[in-house]
Structures are given as C-alpha cells and as structure tokens.
Amino acid sequence: IHSITKELRKDSRSLRNRLQSIIFDSKFIINTVKVLYSGRPLIPNERCGLWYVSPEEMYDSCYFKSTDGHTGQWNFSTRRLNSHLLPIIQENNGIIIVDSTRRGKSMPDSLSKTVPIWCAVINYIMFGERKTTINNNGNENWLYIPPEIISKSEYSQINILIPKFAEKCLKLRVFTKEELINILNNKPLRPFWCHPKQLPFEPFDCKIEKFHPIICCTASLMCQDGIKIFKDFTYVQGAADDHELWSPSPLFNSKIFWQNIDFFQNSSILTNEQLIQKIEELIKINNSQQQNSLIIKDLIHLIPTNIYYGEICGEIINKKLLENYDLSIIFTNSFKTDFLNNYQYQAMIMELENENFDKLPNIIYIPFSNNKKNYKEFRNIVPILVNIFEKKLHQITNSKFLILSETTQDLSIGLILCILCRNYNLQWELQNFPTTITKDIIRQHLNSITKIKRVNPSRAILNSCNSFLF
C-alpha cells in the first residue's frame, strides 16, 4: 500500500500536471492581481516567479531568497540588495512581486519575511527609529508582517535586528539616507500580501497614499497535501519551485515555456512521454534560433571605465565584431567562435601562463559555461586574465575592454569585480597605485554594478574572487 501511495503521489506531481498548474496560477496573476493593481509593474522573484509571468508582462525581476527569512536565520543580504527596484517603485508608486511556494504554506518566506525585512531596513535608513505599533500587528522599526502567518514572538525577534541590518548597510555605503529619500520621494515602503484566497481588495490611490505599496503576491493556491484534483489535471501547489528537480532537461526554462505557451495551454491531453519528446524538439528549435540571432545581448558600459560586458547569444563568425575593443574575453561553451576554432584552449593557456607571446592577444576565448565544474577552473584562470587586462590597460591609452559570457550573472561579473577592486576606486576612477582590498570593498563594487543592472553572482564565484584578491 505504501508503494502504491508513493507512486500515486509521484504521478500527481508529473511534468504534465506541473505545467498545467503553472498556467492555472499565471491566470490569477494576469486576470486578477494585475487588474486590481493596474499601473503597477509585475516583478517575478527569481527563480520560481519567472514561470508565472510572461516576458511580455514582466517589467523586471528581483531576487529575495526565502532562506533570508527562515526562522532564526533572518538576514538583510548585502549580496542581494535589489537596489534596481527603488527607481521602479518610485516611478510606479509601488510594484507587485510574484513568487510561489509548495505545500504547507500560504506564502513563501521570501514574501512573508525577506521582503518585509528589506522594506523595514530601507525605511529605517530614511526615517530612523519608529516606536508606534498598530493592532499588535506592529510597525515598530517600520517592520510590517502578515500577522496570520508570523507569530508575535518571531515579529519581536526580527524587529530587534532591523537597526543592526541598517547599520550594516550604511557601513558598506550601500545607500545613504539622502539618496534613498531622493529616489523614493520621501515615502516609506509598505508591504501588503495577497494570494488566491486573500486579496486586499481596496486599490491604492497613488495620489492619496503616503507610502509606496509593495504587493507581495503568492501565485499558488494552498491546498491539502499540496495537490487538488481538477477536471483535466491534478493541481500542484508551487509547481514551478525547484524546477531543476522536475524539468526534463536543464535547457528547459521559463523562457522556452512562455515562447511556446500556446502549445502548453493545449497540452493537457498529452502523456508525460509525449510532452517530454515535444520539449526536446522545442529546445533544439530554440538553440537553432539563438545561433541565428544577435551576437551580443544587453551590452552594458560601466561608466566612467572603458569596460563593457554583455551576454553572448549567438555564434561569432566575424572577427570584425570585436575589432572596436583592445581586449575581448569570451566565456562560452555553447557558441562557436569560428576564427578561434583551431586555437586550442589548453595551448593558449600555457602561452598566457608563461607569457610566451610576442604581443598581448586581442581576443581570449574561454570554453566555460555557468556550472560548478567551470567555477573551479575559473579560480585558476582569473589571475591570468587580470594580468592580461592590466598590461593592456597600461600599454594602450583609453583602451576598451569587452567581457562576454552566456549569462551576465557569474563568470563575467566575477572577472569584472577582480578588475575593479585591483585597478579602480569606488568611484571607478583608475588608480595608478595598489589599493587596500576588503570584502566590504568587493560588496560596494558589486552594489555599484547592481545599480546599473541586477546581478547576483554565485557564492562559488565570489569565493574565487576572494581567493584571488586576498
């Protein structure tokens, strides 16, 4: 009986049921939440939230980790500052953050605690201590939480930490009081919560309210045992959570899902095997389209430096594309660079390590992708790449640099952090003498990058930076 029950539970959470559940939940976001709070942008919380909001409906994304809200582990992360949200909040008088959670909860810790802590710290920096409490729910130290979920005891424990988190943030010079007041127009952030069984139905009047509403929206429906029988499928609560555990391929992601949403909306009659076969076909089509698409996506200039970075999303078949740069460093294991195909990577590394070259190379191709294996190898090659960069920097006046990777989150950001810490001050002005490097310096450079575009390098990459810089 135990084996049969286990098999039934596994089948209820099949790929087919998960995808139909995601589609069901996404309709709640678009047809109810977006309509109720019209004018406010949808901001899915990575990674789970991306499955519930189509790229066309998504204004931007954010990254609030549930672990920063776990009981006894409450934290204000200086790695995940989400500072890019502040001007969006001001321009739209609030935002809607979308996330989901599996069985046992009506909302994830990311929305019930991590986001409220973030709001409280921002407010505390702007306005200082606040003693008032309302209906025992409290807003002491600007901390608002959903009282039906979080106990008074846990509220008190988190509340005590808000001044310490604010002090940590100010010490790192992440924000100043004046900057925040200017960006947010002297208005505090106020979190509200909604999920399919609970909506604050009163729309907020942008002209009247003296706060910026942060709508924390849980897409999934809470149900017993995390499943509920519907007519055409079995509903799975928080179906998109931990997609790497249920996805049939590491290449199947929310982008491919939404690009082919018409197919998936009509796929409830397919078996799991048929669905997996079709997904494999869609992945092949997507790879083919990428190879014929633009070469560089979202090129970012880190002003006032001459460093540019972006995402490589196609084969580089023409060397002339890189001729505007004195040094191009390309991290990719998915796309070819035809003019470097005969230039063996290991041979090139040996030459770079021994400095056995007549002149510094203009293009360095590193066949790395964003995975744990390559993260370890990244630590070994960082000193070589930084050495090449610094030689170019001092040999060529106003030299321009391009750093490309398959995503602009890990490898490229890790290398850029090492370069900035060694060669630039916190205003990104070139230094002609060695600077003292601390972890706080690394965080401040990372925050400056985040203000331009949201990035979140992995712990493994940051550890590689620390290993090289200290």
Count CB neighbours of 290 within 10 A: 16
- What distance in Å separates the CA atoms of residue 183 and residue 188, rounded to the nearest whole number? 11
Joined tokens for residue 113:
């605690």
Residue 240 lies in a domain: no
- For residue range 195-243, what is the model confidence (pLDDT) as tens digits? 988 875 555 555 556 899 999 999 999 987 778 888 888 999 999 998 8
DSSP assignment, residue 222?
P
Q: Which residue, of 286, 317, 340, is where some domain finishes?
A: 286
Task: Tell me which residue of 320, 313, 286 sits closest to 299, measured CA to CA.
Answer: 313
The 3-state DSSP class for residue 334 equals coil
In terms of DSSP bridges, do strands 227-229 and 189-194 run parallel, antiparallel, or are they unpaired? unpaired
Residue 422 lies in a domain: yes
* Residues 311 and 404: beta-carbon distance below 8 Å: yes
- For residue range 413-459, what is the model confidence (pLDDT) as tens digits? 999 999 999 999 999 999 877 778 998 899 899 988 988 888 888 88
Phi/psi for 268 (5° steps) reads -65, -20
Q: What is residue 7's predicted lDDT score, i.e. its pLDDT?
A: 46
pLDDT exceeds cutoff 90 at 113: yes
DSSP assignment, residue 295?
S
Q: What is residue 171's predicted lDDT score, i.e. its pLDDT?
A: 85
Examine the domain organization and report whether 180 and 275 are in the same domain: no
- For residue range 248-303, what is the model confidence (pLDDT) as tens digits? 888 899 999 999 999 999 888 888 899 999 999 998 887 776 655 547 778 899 99
In sequence order, what are the residues at sequence separation of 6 or more whose Cβ sits closer than 8 angstroms to the Cβ of residue 445? 417, 420, 421, 424, 426
Q: What is residue 136's predicted lDDT score, i.e. its pLDDT?
A: 44
Task: Identify the domain containing residue 267 by its residue range.
Answer: 247-286
Examine the domain organization and report whether 464 and 326 are in the same domain: yes
Ordered alpha helix ranges (H), 128-260: 152-171, 177-183, 243-246, 254-259
The identity of residue 107, as a single letter, is M
Examine the domain organization and report whether 178 and 33 are in the same domain: yes
pTM summary value: 0.81
Examine the domain organization and report whether 381 and 433 are in the same domain: yes
Examine the domain organization and report whether 31 and 148 are in the same domain: yes
Examine the domain organization and report whether 174 and 302 are in the same domain: no
The identity of residue 11, as a single letter, is D
Bridge partners of residue 364, in order along the sequence: 329
Examine the domain organization and report whether 64 and 171 are in the same domain: yes
Examine the domain organization and report whether 317 and 256 are in the same domain: no
- For residue range 382-410, what is the model confidence (pLDDT) as tens digits? 998 998 899 888 888 888 999 988 877 78
Residue 154 lies in a domain: yes
Examine the domain organization and report whether 313 and 460 are in the same domain: yes
* Mean pLDDT, the chain, integer: 84
- What distance in Å separates the CA atoms of residue 124 and residue 143, rounded to the nearest whole number? 9
Q: What is residue 114's predicted lDDT score, i.e. its pLDDT?
A: 97
- For residue range 118-172, what is the model confidence (pLDDT) as tens digits? 999 999 999 987 765 544 445 678 999 998 889 999 999 999 999 999 999 888 8
Ordered alpha helix ranges (H), 365-410: 372-395
Task: Tell me which residue of 41, 16, 66, 13 sits closest to 277, measured CA to CA.
Answer: 16
C-alpha distances in Å from residue 48, one per residue of 36, 219, 238? 23, 10, 8
Q: What is residue 166's predicted lDDT score, i.e. its pLDDT?
A: 94
C-alpha distances in Å from residue 298, one per residue of 141, 173, 408? 39, 27, 9
In sequence order, what are the residues at sequence separation of 6 or more whose Cβ sits closer than 8 angstroms to the Cβ of residue 372? 460
Average pLDDT over residues 26-42: 89
Examine the domain organization and report whether 112 and 181 are in the same domain: yes
Q: Could you tell me what percent of the chain has a pLDDT over 70?
A: 84
The dihedral formed by the CA atoms of 391, 395, 401 and 403, expressed in degrees to the nearest 10: -20
Q: In the chain, count of helices (H) and strands (E)? A: 17, 11
Phi/psi for 279 (5° steps) reads -65, -40
Examine the domain organization and report whether 185 and 257 are in the same domain: no
Q: What is residue 208's predicted lDDT score, i.e. its pLDDT?
A: 57
Residue 235 lies in a domain: no
Residue 233 lies in a domain: no
Q: Which residue, of 190, 224, 258, is where some domain finishes?
A: 224
- What distance in Å separates the CA atoms of residue 132 and residue 149, rounded to the nearest whole number? 21
Examine the domain organization and report whether 256 and 346 are in the same domain: no
Q: Which residue, of 268, 286, 304, is where some domain finishes?
A: 286
Residue 231 lies in a domain: no
Return the CATH number at 414. Answer: 3.90.190.10
Q: What is residue 398's predicted lDDT score, i.e. its pLDDT?
A: 87
Q: What is residue 442's predicted lDDT score, i.e. its pLDDT?
A: 92
Joined tokens for residue 309:
């970075």
In sequence order, what are the residues at sequence separation of 6 or more whose Cβ sits closer than 8 angstroms to the Cβ of residue 432? none
Where does the pLDDT of residue 352 fall: very low under 50, low under 70, confident under 90, or very high at 90 and above? low
pLDDT exceeds cutoff 90 at 1: no
DSSP assignment, residue 173?
T
Could you check whether the bond before residue 304 is cis, i.e. omega within 30 degrees of 0?
yes
Count CB neighbours of 440 within 10 A: 14
* Residues 234 and 24: beta-carbon distance below 8 Å: no
* Residues 106 and 161: beta-carbon distance below 8 Å: no
Poorest-pLDDT segment among 107-116, 131-140, 165-174, 346-355: 131-140
The number of distinct structural domains making up the chain is 3
Residue 237 lies in a domain: no
Residue 213 lies in a domain: yes
If phi over 0 gives left and psi between -120 and 50 gives alpha, with beta otherwise, what is residue 60?
A: beta
The 3-state DSSP class for residue 296 equals strand
pLDDT exceeds cutoff 50 at 4: no
